Structure 1
Amino acid sequence: MANILFSDSDDSDMELLALLSDSDSETDSEADVRRRSRARRIKRVNYMQSLDDAEFTFRFRLSKPLVNALLIQLMPLVRVTSTRNHGVSPLHQLLLTLRFYALGTMLISVADFVGVSTSTAGRIIRDISSAIASLYDEYIAVHQQSAEKFYRIARFPRVLAAIDCTHIRIQSPCHIIGEEFRNRKGYFSLNVQAICDADLRFMNVVARWPGSTHDATIFNNSVLRAQCDAGLFGNRWMLGDSAYPNRSYLLTPVLNPVTEAEQRYNEAHIKTRNTIERTFGVWKRRFPVVALTLRLSLPKAQAVIIATAVLHNICRNYNLEELSAQVDLPPEDNHFVNINSEVTDVQQRAILISNYFQ
């Protein structure tokens, strides 16, 4: 399960500002009329009609049919209150949020996109991201149907998933806890753990650990590890790099291969495990917001990470064509592998190498 927190603390400030902006001599009814008049002057483009399918998908990263289907799911969760967000329709709220995911830019840019204030844009992105993230259990789940497809990659048997972590850049949360989020590369981040299937779909995402946290620590404290210990996934293996402990259900490379069998094992392991790196790449190119720096509060940043992971799986489920990023992305930041120092169980790995890769 994804552990994320949502906060409504920024609403109270905007309500106070709205009260202070009203003239003392103005009655409530006059204020309402003035706000309704201002809202009527905002003309929002119907992008469903004005853009062709290809341009729409490029701008919003989802196709028109997928946006419509997603909107139906989100409708019970989306609020439309004219005094709070100038009557922004659920469709425009969703499109504003998708545009933010596509650009990863400052809030003011997407606020101008639909003619709302920066604070309103922030609230919309928070609400829509939280609503999409709430669909996690529907679209992100561990399954055991990918073993044959994994096998086709490099003939590695009985693979359940590939596992790895990726650092999502964030602004420093605050001076009190900020250094916990500074990773080994020197920037602030959330260290996000994920596993994927052979079709590059996420099967589990954990987006709550500071960037300084070791990959093994995240796994050892995860629900996923408890499920593996309980034998929930049978005799399937996950493949991880040397940052993880080698277990009977999680296989890592041989650090210093000596025999030809160990070398063949490592080659097959690396080729098969590369699916998680490819998954991260496809995800970040479609939604550059998670490849750039998330300048949001921690709860909002976590919601955006989970929401875009959900959307990534939706796109994969419907075979939506992979997209290039609409903005320039920083050079690929190869994940620093901090070798795991735990005492590990290598018996299963040794048996596999001896019986299968010999």
Structure 2
Amino acid sequence: MAFALPVWLGVQDHLLEHEGGTPSYFDQFEDEALFQMFHLTRPCIAFITDTVRIRMKTVPLDMASLTVDGIVMVALNYYAHGVSSCAVLQRVGLSQAECGTIINAVSGVISGMSDQFISFPETRDARASVAFRIERVSGIPSVLGIVAPAHFKIRASPYEKNSFRSFVNTLGHTSVVSQIICDSDGNILSVEKCCVGSTFDQDMWDSSIKGKEIEKDVHGPYWVIGGKGYYLSKHLLTPVSDPVNESETRFNEAHAKIYGVMQATLGSMKRRFRCLMQLGFAQEDSLNKKSNIIKTCCVLHNIAKKFSVPPPPVAGKIEPLLPGKQHSVPVEINPDALKAREKLIEENFSVVCRSQDLQ
């Protein structure tokens, strides 16, 4: 799924090696306090720290007196709460002013691990497995994932009018947006681009690496579930705009059910990594730093799922997915794609199909 098998065999080796290792800053916390501070468990944190340790050797950092686990502690605490707490900073001997350099360095390292810990199903068996689980949840066959624009709020100065307008999304908030694809279990399969909040969903898809691959049949005759901000294509399956019969209504209900997995996934990520609730001030030339933090949280999300770490409990309403931003000029639907969707609905959501399933 999201990770190759050798990685997870390596996890087991790591856990065995870590037992009885050198003392860590994290050892000073009891398990409950550790989770409250970092929203992760001890084995998960140990794996993350050792994985970062290997890669930090090639990253120049002026604060040579800091240990890797101290650096990781500061970064994980920031991801979990959106700010590094005084308790953590006192333990590692840092001030708030020094945190930015560390967070940027660690984010650069972990986001660079995305090709190892975030992967789209590449083999025939992997694709069949993902599609089977999605069909079991929704009844829609031959689907490889759910794609959506993931918006993350930022602060942009209204005095810089040209820049400010570009960050305003469909709800009138300033945000940056990344294109994310997940499976039915909430594993992140792809995260691409970090654009200003006003970017059209379809434009991100058309210019993304994964979008181009999927539309060119690189991944075979499969669909990806997309919301109303996307155009129906031979590989991008959108809901029926104005259903005229029960079959189309049932299809839309199934589509909404599986699309809701993305909302739950992003909600879980934002509860675990509250830095995503407010990514600070941004200019268009600083999108790379925001992109690194978003990718980092996606990597850590997948790692946390593999270690079966529950997210923090829900506090208030789960933030909904933003309404898709569409071009104002109507676009003619691809007739072949329309026929393909009609065939899918007829074969899987018609009254005849349902009556056969009940026999």
Give the TM-score category using the shorter length. 0.7 to 0.9
Look up the match of 1:349. Answer: 341
Matched residue, 2:76? 98
RMSD: 2.7
Distance 1:69 1:106, change over 3 A: closer
TM-score, normalised by the number of residues in structure 2 = 0.79
> Structure 2 CA distance, aligned partners of 1:98 and 1:336?
31
Q: Does 1:166 align with 2:158?
A: no
**Distance in 1, Cα, partners of 2:251 & 2:235:** 16
The size of the alignment, in residue pairs, is 312
Q: Percent identity?
A: 26
| CA-to-aligned-CA distance 1:73-116 (integer Å, 9 cap, x gap) | 21233269999326121101101101001111378886456331
CA offsets 1:29-61 (integer angstroms, 9 cap, x no match): xxxxxxxxxxxxxxxx95432222232123112
Structure 1 residues 83, 126: closer, same or farther in 2, change over 3 A? closer
Q: Secondary structure at the match of 1:177?
A: helix
8 Å CA contact 2:279, 2:290 repeated in 1: no
C-alpha offsets along residues 169-209 of structure 1, whole Å, 9 cap, x if unaligned?
12228936333222232332111211101110111112421
8 Å contact kept, 2:180–2:188? yes
Residues 125-155 of structure 1: CA distance to partner in whole angstroms, max 9, x if unpaired? 0000110000000011111231121122122
Structure 1 residue 255, shift from structure 2 partner: 0.9
> Mean alpha-carbon deviation: is it higher for 307-316 or for 170-179?
170-179
Give the match for residue 123 of structure 1.
101
Measured in 1, the distance between the counterparts of 2:140 and 2:260 equals 12
2:221 corresponds to which residue? 235
**Larger gyration radius, structure 1 or structure 2:** 1
Q: Give the drift of 1:333.
A: 4.8
Aligned 1:70-149 pairs, distance under 5 A:
70-78=48-56, 84-85=62-63, 87-105=65-83, 111=89, 114-143=92-121, 144=127, 145-149=129-133
Aligned with 2:62: secondary structure?
helix
Question: Is 1:208–2:186 an aligned residue pair?
Answer: no
Q: Stretches of 4+ moved more than 4 A in 1? A: 79-83, 106-113, 328-331
In 2, the alpha carbon distance for the partners of 1:236 and 1:245 equals 16
Partner of 2:299: 310
Q: What does residue 65 of structure 1 align with? A: 43
- Structure 1 252/83 Cα, relative in aligned 2: closer, same or farther at 3 Å? closer
Which region of structure 1 is more displaced relative to structure 2, 66-75 or 93-102? 66-75
Matched residue, 1:39: none
Measure how far apart 1:356 and its partner are.
Answer: 2.2
Unmatched segments (≥5 aa) in structure 2? 1-22, 122-126, 351-359
User: Do 2:144 and 2:183's aligned partners in 1 also have CA atoms closer than 8 Å?
Assistant: yes
1: CA distance, partners of 2:116 / 2:80? 23
TM-score (norm 1): 0.79
* Residue 218 (str. 1) matches residue 204 (str. 2): yes
Indicate the SS of the match to 2:186. Answer: coil
Shift of the 225–146 alpha-carbon distance from structure 1 to 2, 3 Å rule, reads same
CA distance in 2, matches of 1:86, 1:120: 13
Change (3 A) 1:286 1:112: same
